[in-house]
Structure 1
Amino acid sequence: MKIQLLKLVCFSPTGTTKAIIQGVARGINQSTVELIDITRPDARIQPLQTSENELLVVAVPVYMGRVPALLNDWLHVIKARNTPAVCIVVYGNRVYDDALLELKDILIKCGCKPIASAAYIGEHSFSSSETPTAEGRPDASDLNHAELFGRKINEKLLSISSVNHISDINIPGNYPYGGVTELWSVDFIAISNECTQCGICAEGCPVGAIDSENNNLIDMEKCITCCACIKNCPQNARTMKNGLVKDAAIRLNKLYKERKEPVFFL
């Protein structure tokens, strides 16, 4: 079957998930591509509609073993009409638990027909130079794998005559889903005098938790501990305070040093 449009949907506060989905797109090599980055809150207002002659690729990071809860409302109102779809999750070298199965189930309920799925590794959001976890990933090997996955998707599309010939994909996971959907609400960000109030942190915050007029003000009830503000600060003015999140970063660094590799399911 032929696809007229490739739609890429990603949520990527620190850029790792976006890098993976773009690698997959290079492998699919479709001439007409639309990127829908739903990282910012204003990008999650307009619902998505797709049709049978499009290929929808959705990539999200794994939060506590699950699809990020803040995306549920937007993902569940996707309006698809037998749209072939690819599900991708990106995790920080720990485990992806049931997140990939959950994403597949969400897209099926929206009217999609999953044709492929994959789990990739990205640098953990808690990773730092002091306590690195999957540092620098996705790396060249990961992105080559993503392109290969994209080519496999394209081959599968060309091998079937219509969306009705897409068979179910067996994805590992459990019912009910494990993992945790409630995120920590904790004051964990230290801000030094190096902060110039440039506003990059507020602009990039996926939940609007940082005051645009005073970047030192953070709404911890909104914060999803994605650490985008720490990683994206040009002055390195934001770091982790001692406490719950830093302790977790230390544990991750100790327990998950062994490199994990991406996998795909077709």
Structure 2
Amino acid sequence: MEIQLLKLVYFSPTGTTKRVVHGIAAGIRPCTIEEVDITTPRAREMPLLSSGEELLIVAVPVYMGRVPGLLSEWLNSIQAHDTPTVCVVVYGNRVYDNALLELKDIVTRRGCVPIAGAAYVGEHSFSNSETPSKGRPDKEDLGHAERFGRKIREKLQSISSLSQVSDVVVPGTRPYGGITKLWDVDFIAVSDLCVRCGVCAEVCPVGAVDAHESARIDHEKCITCCACIKKCPQGARTMKPGLVMEARRRVNTLFVERKAPEYFLD
């Protein structure tokens, strides 16, 4: 089966999901790649249109064991027509629960045909130097992603049409359970190091940071992705003591064993 175009679709506030997707694409080695980065609010204003001549990789981070609720409307607006699709979730070395199954179900309803699924580990949003997931996806993870990409290419080359593809079984149970609504919490401290460069506002995936006054944050919009903390060039943004810092402590102490990436092809 020949694929004319590979579309990389991802939500990646801190860049980890994007790196995983690029690793998979390196293994597929298509002639043409189109990136659909839905991280910014403006990017999510346009629906995704796709056809059977394309291969989609749809990748999202795991939030509390689920597909992020803020992506629900956009994902459910996808207009696909028997489009072969790879579903990918990226989690912070804790668990991915039912997120991969949920993503598969969503894209299937929108006209996609899942041919593979995968779960990778990325640096946790709440990470610091002590967090077990720090620096992931690392070289080993990206090597795994590239091998997965090669397996996808081999699978497509072995068939003449999608009718030969059996349903891909991925872990998870229905109903999905968990919580899709995120915390409404004031957890970011801004120090005198802030020079009001505006980077924090630019990288915020939900427009929660005021572009003119960076210490002003809309806590109802904030999804605790910590992109503004991680990408501040002055190191002026840190966590305040409270719920998020306590969650980071739990991640650092309860989930220390290195989780390995997984993929599902049959």
Deviation string 1:98-139 (CA, Å, 9 cap, x unpaired) is 00000000010000000000000001000012x423000000
Aligned residues: 265
Unmatched tracts of structure 2, length 5 or more: none
Whether 2:113 is the aligned partner of 1:116: answer no
**1:1-266 to 2 correspondences below 5 Å:** 1-129=1-129, 131-266=130-265
Whether the 8 Å CA contact 2:10–2:37 is kept in 1: the answer is yes
Alpha-carbon shift at residue 166 of structure 1 (Å): 1.4
Residues 154-212 of structure 1: CA deviation (Å, up to 9, x unaligned): 00000111112111011110110022101000000011000110100000000000000
Residue 50 of structure 1 contacts residue 80 of structure 1 at CA under 8 Å; is this kept in 2?
yes
Gaps of 5+ in 1: none
Percent of aligned positions with the same letter in both sequences?
65
Letter in 2 for 1:3: I
Say which is worse superposed, 79-88 or 164-173, in terms of deviation: 164-173
Contact 1:97 1:178 in 2 (8 A): no
SS in 1 for 2:116: strand
Q: Secondary structure at the match of 1:41?
A: coil
Question: Secondary structure of 2:143's partner?
Answer: helix
3-state SS in 2 of match to 1:22: helix
Name the SS for the 1:253 alignment partner: helix
* Cα deviation digits, residues 185-244 of structure 1 (max 9, x gap): 000001100011010000000000000011111000000000000000111110000000
CA distance in 2, matches of 1:113, 1:103: 12
Instruction: For residues 71-108 of structure 1, give each alpha carbon's deviation from its aligned partner in whole angstroms, at most 9, with x where no partner exists.
Output: 00000010000000000000000000000000000010
Partner of 1:8, secondary structure, is: strand
Return the TM-score normalized by structure 1.
0.99
Alignment RMSD: 0.6
TM-score by length of 2: 0.99
